[in-house]
């Protein structure tokens, strides 16, 4: 998995699900969530995404950016798991899962870009 | 007001990167994601170098290790074949064994005292061995014969030791990081918000709006960017370049802020939290193996710059504990304390060996021992005094006082021994130590290199570490 990953053509009305695990791991993470158009950015704190899932509805004709910022207090592996669920509950495409290895003093960055169907 | 000032400073610092003209330099054949990741890697190269340097600095920093002693040493290899299977199949816990003992570690969930009160319980089934003191007291003429006979009477569970350990893990006690994750998360979030305020430009929104545009193909990542129409390229590439620069600037700012505000030192503060632990041991033995024993121990250990101190400090300043400025100020005021890693440790132990009697009526043999009780109190305080030019702590002072009172043993009754030890590590991996010892009675002084008086002596030594290149 690369630092930046992407979903395209996500169905209208689908839902993004974000999880950060393990719950008691020696690290913290938060998300800067941005939406195209005149929509304010929002921050999802650690408590929202760990263990999650944080659910975010996705609308037609939009683009979204999910910036994950992690900080490790000691050596650990954090798992960021993202998936998109279609309105009927089925998974869209395949989940994007980052296994992030870190040590004390490591801030880490991962980005998910989502484009929905026009 | 302070937050605004920070924001302004960081924004100005990030301005050169953010203000540069977007430059599209995706390579031929690259998809949108290929290009985005390569550009980001390049933009963050400087930050990565800093990360490597930071990691090297962290490795130099001495962090006192979490000390949660196990009550019973682990063992390995098999002594009783059926018991591990039985124990595990009932979900009671896990087993380890070696040639001398089988250790049953009970599942902590069986003792649900809540997450703030973790406990561990173990049972060590030792391979029974005849009580050596007893055998040595047998008349020599019958010793070998009786030893053989008594040995045949030993059974699997004739020497079993049970141990129970409790520790406190909460936001005030214990060195587990979990009770402090909320504080860590809030502090990091506050730092991130500063970094976002300082580095946000219109690049992110610009790229998002372009990616949402119906003018773009539904899927832009399934073909190289240079195969797209010039119009699409002209829109996407500069926006992507601008966003990647913003992203790299934000990551660098987060890295700089976590360093300047000493965010990661929170881990050291957690490691200095007071630690309370209590343990109880019971060793039940067949008379052939020896007397029964019981013991209980309580210990308390703490460092002096810790999360509790941070909470009090921020409360006095009427700041949130998760305010990075409060953390930074606290660490600035207690920097020496944190560097010196002072530790205070207090422990008290009581143990008892039951009275013992063994008879062989046919041989008119009796062997008995009185009950022995032991009380031990220990107080120690240690800290580093200085570091070398590389930041490696080199000189340490440790003060320790032990009081011991053992019934039935005149050499260990009301015994007080106090020591002050200076240790200095030199660059050639050699450590020199100098100890002043005081004993409450001359006979407790032990072996010393120089007697200053009947009750005070000196010990000094030079240790060459095994991994020394000189060896």
Cβ A114 vs Cβ A15: under 8 Å: no
Closest to B107 in 3D by CA, of B97, B121, B86 = B121
Q: pLDDT at residue B66 above 50?
A: no
Q: Report the pLDDT value the prediction gives residue B466, as an integer from 0 to 100.
A: 53
H-helix or E-strand containing B32? helix B32-43
Nearest to B110 by CA among B118, B102, B100: B118
Percent of chain B with pLDDT over 70: 84
* Helix/strand/coil for B246: helix
pLDDT digits (tens, 9 = 90+) for A80-100: 999 999 999 999 999 999 999
The lowest-confidence range among A9-13, B273-277, B371-375, B462-466 is B462-466
Is this complex's ipTM strictly greater than 0.90? Answer: yes
For residue B156, the model assigns a pLDDT of 87
Residues A3, B41: C-beta atoms closer than 8 Å: yes
If you average pLDDT over residues B292-319, what whole number do you get?
A: 95
Mean pLDDT of B352-376: 93
Q: Is the pLDDT of residue B140 over 50?
A: yes
Please enumerate in sequence order all residues whose Cβ is within 8 A of that of A92, keeping only pairs 6 or more positions apart, or say none.
A7, A10, A11, A14, A83, A84, A85, A86
Q: Lowest mean pLDDT of A42-51, B47-56, B81-90, B405-414, name the range.
A: B47-56
Residues from chain B contacting residue A113 (CB–CB below 8 Å): 211
* Chain A to chain B Cβ contacts (< 8 Å): 124
Judged by a CB distance cut-off of 8 A, whether residue B40 touches chain A is yes
Pick from A65, A73, A106: CB nearest B266 = A73
- In sequence order, what are the residues at sequence separation of 6 or more whose Cβ sits closer than 8 angstroms to the Cβ of residue B90? none
Percent share of chain A, pLDDT over 70:
100
pLDDT band per the 50, 70, 90 thresholds, residue B46: low
pLDDT score for B385: 85
**Among B458, B402, B456, B462, CA closest to B428:** B462
B263 touches chain A (CB under 8 A): yes
Half-sphere exposure of A101 (CA within 13 A, CB side): 1
Residue of B nearest to A25 (CA): B178
Compute the distance between CA of residue B230 and CA of residue B234 in angstroms, rounded to an integer.
6
- Substitution target from B31, B55, B182, B211 for chain A, most A beta carbons within 10 A: B211
Range B44-53 contact pairs with CB under 8 angstroms and sequence separation of 24 or more: B44/A109, B44/B248, B44/B251, B44/B252, B46/B252, B47/B248, B47/B251, B47/B252, B47/B255, B50/B252, B50/B255, B51/A105, B51/A106, B51/B255
Window from B81-85, B163-167, B210-214, B235-239 with minimum mean pLDDT: B81-85
- Cβ atoms of B129 and B159 closer than 8 Å: yes
**Is the CB of A43 less than 8 angstroms away from the CB of B192?**
yes
pLDDT category of residue B24 using cuts at 50, 70 and 90: low
Question: Which band of pLDDT confidence, cut at 50, 70 and 90, is reported for residue B323?
Answer: very high
Band (B391; pLDDT cuts 50, 70, 90): low
CA distance B415 to chain A (A): 42
Q: How far is A51 from chain B (nearest CA, A)?
A: 13
- Report CA Rg, chain A: 14
- Statement: residue B11 has pLDDT above 90: no
- Contact residues, chain A to chain B, C-beta under 8 Å: 2-6, 8-9, 24, 26, 28-30, 32, 34-37, 41, 43, 45-47, 61-65, 67, 69, 71, 73-74, 103-107, 109, 111, 113, 115-118
pLDDT tier at B245 (50, 70, 90 boundaries)? very high
Q: Which residue of A has its CA nearest to B244?
A: A4
CA B168 centroid distance within chain: 15
> Model's pTM, two decimal places?
0.76
Mean pLDDT of B359-367: 93
Give the residue on A whose Cα is nearest the Cα of B205: A36
């Amino acid at each position: 998995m690369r630092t930046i990953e992407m979903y395209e053509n996500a169905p209208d009305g689908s839902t993004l699900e974000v999880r950060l695990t393990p719950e008691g791991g020696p690290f913290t993470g938060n998300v800067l969530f941005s939406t195209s158009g005149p929509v304010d950015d929002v921050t999802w704190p650690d408590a929202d995404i760990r263990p999650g899932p944080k659910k975010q509805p996705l609308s037609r004709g939009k683009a979204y950016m999910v910036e994950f910022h992690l900080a490790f207090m000691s050596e650990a592996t954090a798992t960021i798991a993202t998936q998109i669920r279609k309105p009927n509950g089925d998974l869209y495409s395949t989940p994007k899962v980052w296994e992030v290895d870190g040590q004390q003093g490591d801030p880490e960055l991962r980005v998910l870009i989502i484009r929905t169907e026009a | 007001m302070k937050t605004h000032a920070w924001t302004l400073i960081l924004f100005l610092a990030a301005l050169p990167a953010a203000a540069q003209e977007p430059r599209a330099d995706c390579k031929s054949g690259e998809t949108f994601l290929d290009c985005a990741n390569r550009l980001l890697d390049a933009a963050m190269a400087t930050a990565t170098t800093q990360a490597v340097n930071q990691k090297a600095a962290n490795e130099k920093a001495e962090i006192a290790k979490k000390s949660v002693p196990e009550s019973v040493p682990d063992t390995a290899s098999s002594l009783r074949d059926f018991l591990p299977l039985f124990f595990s199949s009932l979900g009671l816990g896990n087993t380890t064994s070696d040639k001398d003992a089988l250790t049953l570690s009970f599942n902590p969930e069986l003792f649900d005292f809540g997450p703030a009160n973790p406990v561990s319980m173990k049972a060590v089934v030792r391979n029974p061995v005849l009580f050596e003191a007893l055998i040595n007291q047998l008349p020599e003429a019958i010793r070998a014969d009786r030893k053989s006979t008594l040995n045949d009477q030993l059974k699997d569970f004739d020497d079993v030791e049970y141990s129970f350990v409790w520790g406190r893990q909460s936001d005030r006690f214990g060195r587990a990081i979990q009770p402090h994750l909320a504080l860590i998360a809030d502090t990091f979030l506050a730092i991130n918000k500063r970094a976002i305020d300082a580095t946000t430009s219109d690049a992110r929104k610009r790229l998002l709006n372009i990616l949402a545009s119906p003018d773009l193909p539904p899927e832009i990542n399934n073909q190289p960017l240079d195969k797209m129409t010039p119009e699409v390229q002209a829109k996407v590439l500069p926006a992507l370049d601008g966003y990647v620069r913003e992203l790299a600037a934000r990551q660098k700012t987060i890295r700089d802020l976590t360093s300047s505000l000493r965010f990661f030192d929170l881990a050291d503060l957690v490691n200095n939290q007071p630690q309370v632990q209590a343990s109880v041991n019971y060793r039940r033995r067949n008379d052939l193996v020896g007397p029964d024993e019981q013991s209980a121990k309580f210990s308390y250990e703490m460092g002096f710059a810790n999360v509790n101190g941070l909470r009090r400090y921020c409360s006095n300043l009427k700041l949130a504990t998760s305010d990075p400025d409060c953390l930074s100020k606290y660490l600035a005021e207690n920097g020496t304390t944190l560097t010196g890693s002072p530790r205070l440790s207090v422990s008290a132990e009581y143990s008892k060996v039951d009275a013992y009697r063994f008879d062989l009526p046919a041989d008119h043999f009796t062997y008995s021992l009185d009950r022995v009780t032991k009380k031990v109190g220990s107080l120690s305080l240690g800290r580093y005094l200085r570091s070398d030019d590389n930041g490696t702590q080199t000189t340490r002072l440790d003060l320790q006082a032990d009081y011991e009172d053992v019934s039935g043993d005149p050499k260990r009754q009301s015994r007080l021994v106090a020591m002050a030890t200076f240790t200095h590590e030199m660059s050639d991996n050699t450590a020199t130590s100098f100890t002043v010892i005081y004993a409450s009675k001359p006979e407790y002084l032990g072996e010393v290199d120089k007697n200053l008086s009947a009750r005070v002596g000196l010990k000094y030594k030079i240790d060459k570490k095994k991994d020394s290149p000189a060896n």
